[in-house]
Every structure is written in C-alpha cells, then in structure tokens.
Structure 1
Amino acid sequence: MDPLADEAPSTPIEYEPISVKDVLVEMKDTAELLIDLAYSAVLHRNEDLAREVLRLESRMDRLEMRGRMSLMMAARNPDDAEQLAPVLGIVVAADQISDAAGDIAKVVLEDIGLPEAMRAALPEAVETLVREVVADDSAYAGRTLEDINLESETGVRIIALRRGDEWILNPGPQTAVEAADVAFMRGPDAGIEEVCETMTGSPHEPPVAATPDLADLERAVDAIVHMKNLSELAVDLAYSSVLFDSDGLAEEVQNLEVEVDALESRFEAWALRAAADAPDPVRLRGLIHLSKATEIISDAAVDITEGVFREIDVHPVVQMAVEESDEIITRLEVEPGSQLDGQSIVDGMPDTESTMSIIAIRRPEDGWLLVGDADASLQAGDVLIAKGTRTSASAFEDLARA
C-alpha cells in the first residue's frame, strides 16, 4: 500500500499577508506534535498514526514556504536582513525536524523493519497515544473540552484535533469537539479504553502484543522513549532560547544534543549486537533509521539557537511573540543551602509555594532526568528547566539562591 495514498495532492502556495510570528508559533506546535506522533507510531506499530505524521509533514512544508515568503517581504534593509537571518534558520530547522519525523513514520509504513514485540516492551509508565474518529452520535460531539472534563475524570488528554484539513493544536478548554473530528489522545490504557468507546461507539481493541523474541528489547525500547523525550525537550528549549533570547537555554540545547548523540551511538551498538542473535536481523533495520532521525532532530534544535549564540539582536517579530506568551521557560541552578536544595518533586512540582513546573533536571553525575520519568529530590548543583508565568519564574529563581 502506498503510504502517501491518503495525502492531499500538492497544491500551489501563493503569498498571503500572514504574520511571521503566527507562522513561527504554528511551526513550533506542529514540530512538537510531529515528534510525538512519529515515535508513538513506531512504539505502537500504528499505521494510522504514521499516516497522520505524513499529513502534518505536508502541512509543515506549506508553513515553511509561507514563512520564507513572509520573511522576504519583511526584509526592507540590511539591518532587517541581519536580524531576520536567524529567523529563516528557525524556519528551515523546523522543516528538517518535520522531514525526520516523516522518516520515522515511514519505518512503519514502508515496513523497513521493526521487532514485532515493541509494544509489549513498553515501560508501564508510558502513556498510550491513540487516534480515533468522533462518531456522529458520540456523547462528546458538540461539547467543549471544559464541559467534557476528560482529563480530570479519566486521565486522558486530547492533544490535537484534525477537522478535515484543518488542525487544532493544543486545544484549550473552550475548544469544541465535533462529529467526524479526528482526535489524538494520550493517557493510561484504562482511561483510553473508556474514552475511545464513548467517542466512537465501539469497544476499543488495543493491538495484541507479541512475545519479545530479542534479548534486552525492553532496554532498547527504554532508549527509544528516552530519545523521544530528549528530542522533544531540545526542540522546546531551542524555541524558548530564541523567544526569550536566553544564552542559558541555548547552552542546554547543546548539552542535550551531546547526550542524544551518545545515546544514538549506544543504541546503534545494541542493534548491531542484537542482530547477531535475532531470528531475522532485517527486522532491526528500522531501529537504525530511528536513531539517525533522532540525531537529525537534535541537530536541528541546535540550528534553531544559532542566532542566540551569534548574539544577533532579536527581531521585533520575535519580541512580539514573547510579549504575547503567558508562560516562559527558565533555566537556573540550585545553590547549596537554598530553599530548593533537598526539596522533593511530585508531578513536576517542588514541595514549595512556587507554581513553577519543573520539566527536566540536569545533574552533573547522572545527566538528564526528565521529571515525567522519575520521582526525584532536588540537589545542590542541579540545573533545572522549569515552566511557568513570569512572576512565578522570578520568585522561583529566588528560591534557588542561598
């Protein structure tokens, strides 16, 4: 079957007077969803998710072209050209991330080769991501997400909706779910089963997980999940480093890229050793493709930060995006004897009055700890990546100081 069969035919792209800021935000959101869907398609061997990745990749191609056109129209003098050059780099890097996600999806669609028992080897803590179509008579149709209240009642989150060719990324409480929408949901298996049945009118039938036929497959799948999480974090920090002109965040993107490279090298070594004992070594070929695509994503994240490292003044169009941002990402180091030193973390929140949510910790002796992967207590010397409002970020920084 042609994996592109469901794709809309190519159409000419004409210049539209669209905000560069809006294009950048849309490309960022699209890139993050692409990474999530692509890896989930591989881990669950899900062809429907893989086809949605190709749809999103096509969308990103159009966004990239519109971004290029808008940037060309915005450059009126040499100073504009200098300030906009890094923005063009962001646009190009986002397209590279999109292409890499498409390559990951094609591992599934073109049957390049994957172990049969990928899903069986998933860690229990990893949530399931599914794609379902909203039935005409679904109890969810015509209601807002706030009214449905899925996350509170089931633990399931709708992370995106596709309505025909229109994508609704990061839907908010007032977003309505309509009949025939394609919903992308993430959550625990028990909650997913309940929500899918209500949404589609049919019982949810998860794929039957095959028995692992490779030694240490669980460790390999753990590595894939870790690479996915690190790649998502790198892209998020890269955009934030540009939006907030932060050398510290840009530096952490480089640290992440180094760790992804090391992880990719170890992952390839495992795949080659496993091939010696595998009943069908060709079934491991897709894992090599996966590790290469992961490296491309982390390299593209570094490319996004180039303007920050070259100390090129942020163009006003980027400043506009910052001003409209309710949340910021900040980087800080925990000082010995500070209020954060020794504090425990539960669900990403430290045991303090702060409302900042910790995304990740870089610990000198352990490398990166993604808060979603493990409970932890903060230590002096930890470098924290946290998200919250500007006011809470300032107060959080005070807590990290002795």
Structure 2
Amino acid sequence: MNQFEGEASSAPIEYEPVNVKDVLVEMKDTAELLIDLSYSAVLLSSEEIAEEVLRLEERMDVLEMRARMGLMMAVRSPEDAEQLAPVLGIVTAADDISDAAGDIAKVVLEDIGLPEAMRAALPEAVETLVRGVVNTNSEYAGQTLEEIDLESETGVRVIALRRGDDWLLNPGPTTRIEADDVALLRGPDVVIGDVYESLTGTAYEPPVAESPDIDDLERAVDTIVHMKNLSELAVDLAYSAVLFDSDALAEEVRNLEVEVDALESRFEAWTLRAAADASDPVSLRGLIHLGSATEVISDAAVDISEGVLRNIDVHPVVQMAVEESDEIITRVEVESNSDLDGTAITAGVPDTESTMSVIAIRRPEEGWVLVGDADAEVRGGDILISKGTRTAATAFEELAVA
C-alpha cells in the first residue's frame, strides 16, 4: 500500500464553519490541477509528480467532507434542498475526478504496466510540466513571482507551490517563493531545463521518447491522449456552464462525453489488437487503467453540469464563486461572412484584435478540433470554445455575427 493511502480515510475531520464558496473554488482549482499532474506523471514517467497527485487527492478528500458538512448545515427548507442538490453534485464530481487522477498516478507508482511508447505521445514543442524543490541558494528563493517576472522572461509558469502540507494553487504576482517549497512548473521544453536548474540547483534530465513499433499501439496511445484532452476540456466547460448558468456550454459538455465514450471503445479495440503483437502484453495493462479513469473524468464533467441541464437555478453560493475568476470560457457560433469567418488561428490566438484565446473548435462534419494540437482556420458554422476576460468575450461574440 502506498504511504499516502489510509492516511486520508483515517484522519479525523471535525465540523468547523467554512465558506462554502471558498471550498468550491479550491475544489475546482484542485480538480483541474490533478488532471494536469496525473497525466503528466504518466507521460513523463515521473514518480515524484505521481506522489504529488496522491497528496492532492488526500487534500481533496478533506475539502469534499468540509463542503458536505457546510451544505448540510445550509439546508433550511425544501427550496434550499432543491437548489443545493446540484452543488452537492459538483462536490461529488470533483471528488470523482480526484479519485480518477489518483488511479492514473498509481499506474506509475505501482508499476501496473505501461508501454514506453507513452512518452512518444508528448508532442514536439509542447509545454512540459516539472516538479522541483527550491534550493536555499536559488536566485528565486525569497522573491515574489512579480519580482522574478519568470513568465515574461522565459514563458515558464509556476502553476502551484506546496509548502509542507499547504498548497498554494494558482499563485499570483504577490506569491513569494520560499526555500524548500515544492514548485510545479509548466513551460516550453527548450527553456524549462534552465529554469529548473536555477530553481533547484540540479540539472534537468528530460524524458527520452521511444517510438512505438506496433501500429495498433501507436493508435491506442494517440487515442488516450486525445481522450485526455477532450476530458480536460469537458471539465473546464462544465464548471463554466455552472458558474455562468449556460445551457449551451452544458450541452457541449454532453457532446464531449459522447465523443470520449466513442473513443474509449476504439481505444480498447486497438489496445487488444496491440496485445496480440506485443512481446509482453502485460505491459499494456496500464493503458486499460488510463482509459477507464479518463472516461470517469468525462462522466464527472457531465455530473458537474447536470443542474444546468435539468434547468435548476444556480445557487447563489456558486454565483459568488464566479467572482473568484478573472477569466471566463465562452461558446460562440461563427456565422458565415462574419469577421471571424476565414480567420487564421495560430497557437490558439486568432488573427484579430481580440485578446480571446481559442481552445477548441467543434465542426459538424469533423467533430472536435483542439487548437492546442494544431493551427486552424475559422469557418462559418464553427462552434468556438474560447477563454478570456468578460470584456473581450463580448467583443469576440460580436465578431462572430455577420
């Protein structure tokens, strides 16, 4: 049994007054980070990152229990119960995502079996996630993120810090990096090694990719990575659907879940075919675990948006949580001959004066196109899923109208 198992279930959690809004925000941030870390642990074959996943999973268990206690104390009438039921669904779904992420991490930690070809699934020039402990003599120790201006200088972002048992999620300009902090960094592969060395005082050793020599295995690996991207997008959209009470976004979550289900069926078939040609079929067992966990994440996304799909009014506590986010996700349908029709998108940035970032396109004849995977050109009839400020979103919607 892993050292982290058992601790979360046996540690007593007593009721204490909590701000449910703050707990929901932290659960959302934790769920999104867990997805990112768990798959990075697999793609990078990193036991250190996988162990951070289990630590975060333990934290999520505590947050879920506190959220449940707070919601139970808030129920005063049948009307309260009706409005709070979807919020409870959001809490449960976030915990389901956490459990799925833990299962993904255990593929690495428990040596369940995973083909080396998984590393080859890392796209060229993709952003890499690394974990490092801040050295006492690091130039970054004792400085705020604003002072070191790391992202502007290098493109590398500090996505989270762990200080002992405390997590600092979504660190901002005033967040100070301290010696012995565990830092999670994401950035371009060509520069992240230098930042890692400056942070930790040790050299960065990038993973070595091995190309699969079995066609069906290559298809299976490519499919699981695509399922991961779609599931991650579904979670992002699900929270936005709830926070902004958007039927359109909730419907896109359902569309994504259907797509992931279809991909899982094909993924299982390719994995079984690959097993027939593999020298060690047992080494593919971890792929099956990944497929199941990924499907759980997409199902959880639907559960998060279920209240919207059932036309249940969003509870005020969720509406308040909206104010914690400076960015929003929007769904825009591009009309033919509009300003967006024919616009090129490079690395998610449309060739317009808008500051919105396009993260995905759904086309009736092609399905989903994840812009992070390839450049694209906007066409009339496209459904664009974009991220940006509220002001930018309004202007972007106007560009989509002919």
Map residues 342-361 of structure 1 onto 2, 5 A cutoff.
342-361=342-361
After superposition, the C-alpha distances for 1:347-402 in whole angstroms (9 at most, x for unaligned) are 32222222222121111122111121111110001001112222222221111111
Structure 2: how far apart are the matches of 1:191 and 1:289? Answer: 33
Contact 1:36/1:228 (<8 A) preserved: no
Structure 2: how far apart are the matches of 1:352 and 1:117? Answer: 39
Does 2:2 align with 1:17?
A: no
Structure 2 counterpart of 1:396: 396
- Equivalent position SS for 2:297: helix
Map residues 295-306 of structure 1 onto 2, 5 A cutoff.
295-306=295-306
Structure 1: how far apart are the matches of 2:210 and 2:203? Answer: 21
Q: Which amino acid aligns with 1:36?
A: D
Structure 2: how far apart are the matches of 1:251 and 1:7? Answer: 38
CA RMSD of aligned residues (A): 1.7
Identical columns (%): 77
Structure 1: how far apart are the matches of 2:6 and 2:371? Answer: 37
Contact 1:132/1:182 (<8 A) preserved: yes
How many pairs are equivalent?
401
After superposition, the C-alpha distances for 1:282-321 in whole angstroms (9 at most, x for unaligned) are 0001101100111110001001111111111111111212
- How far is the alpha carbon of 1:4 from its aligned partner? 2.5
Contact 1:93/1:301 (<8 A) preserved: yes
Contact 2:64/2:91 (<8 A) preserved: yes
Structure 2 counterpart of 1:72: 72
Structure 1, unaligned stretches of length 5 or more? none
Structure 2 counterpart of 1:199: 199
Does 2:158 align with 1:158?
A: yes
Contact 2:43/2:121 (<8 A) preserved: no
Contact 1:67/1:91 (<8 A) preserved: yes
- How far is the alpha carbon of 1:128 from its aligned partner? 1.8
Structure 1 counterpart of 2:2: 3
- CA separation of 1:217/1:195 partners in 2, compared to 1, >3 Å: closer, same or farther? farther
After superposition, the C-alpha distances for 1:208-258 in whole angstroms (9 at most, x for unaligned) are 445645445444333232222111111111011011000000000001101
- How far is the alpha carbon of 1:328 from its aligned partner? 1.8
After superposition, the C-alpha distances for 1:163-189 in whole angstroms (9 at most, x for unaligned) are 111111111122111100101111222
- Equivalent position SS for 1:270: helix
- Equivalent position SS for 1:265: helix
Does 2:291 align with 1:291?
A: yes
Q: More deviation in 87-96 or 118-127?
A: 118-127
- How far is the alpha carbon of 1:6 from its aligned partner? 8.8
Structure 1: how far apart are the matches of 2:5 and 2:319? Answer: 39
- CA separation of 1:94/1:177 partners in 2, compared to 1, >3 Å: closer, same or farther? same
Structure 2 counterpart of 1:259: 259
Contact 2:330/2:386 (<8 A) preserved: yes
- Equivalent position SS for 2:168: strand
- CA separation of 1:287/1:168 partners in 2, compared to 1, >3 Å: closer, same or farther? same
Contact 1:121/1:217 (<8 A) preserved: no
After superposition, the C-alpha distances for 1:321-354 in whole angstroms (9 at most, x for unaligned) are 2244322211110001111101111232222222
Q: Which amino acid aligns with 1:318?
A: V
Contact 1:4/1:51 (<8 A) preserved: no
- CA separation of 1:213/1:350 partners in 2, compared to 1, >3 Å: closer, same or farther? closer
Structure 1 counterpart of 2:240: 240
Q: More deviation in 323-332 or 261-270?
A: 323-332
Q: Which amino acid aligns with 1:93?
A: A
Does 2:385 align with 1:385?
A: yes
Q: Which amino acid aligns with 1:3?
A: N
- How far is the alpha carbon of 1:69 from its aligned partner? 0.4
Contact 2:239/2:305 (<8 A) preserved: yes
Q: Which amino acid aligns with 2:190?
A: A
Structure 2: how far apart are the matches of 1:202 and 1:146? Answer: 24
Map residues 176-215 of structure 1 onto 2, 5 A cutoff.
176-210=176-210, 212-215=212-215
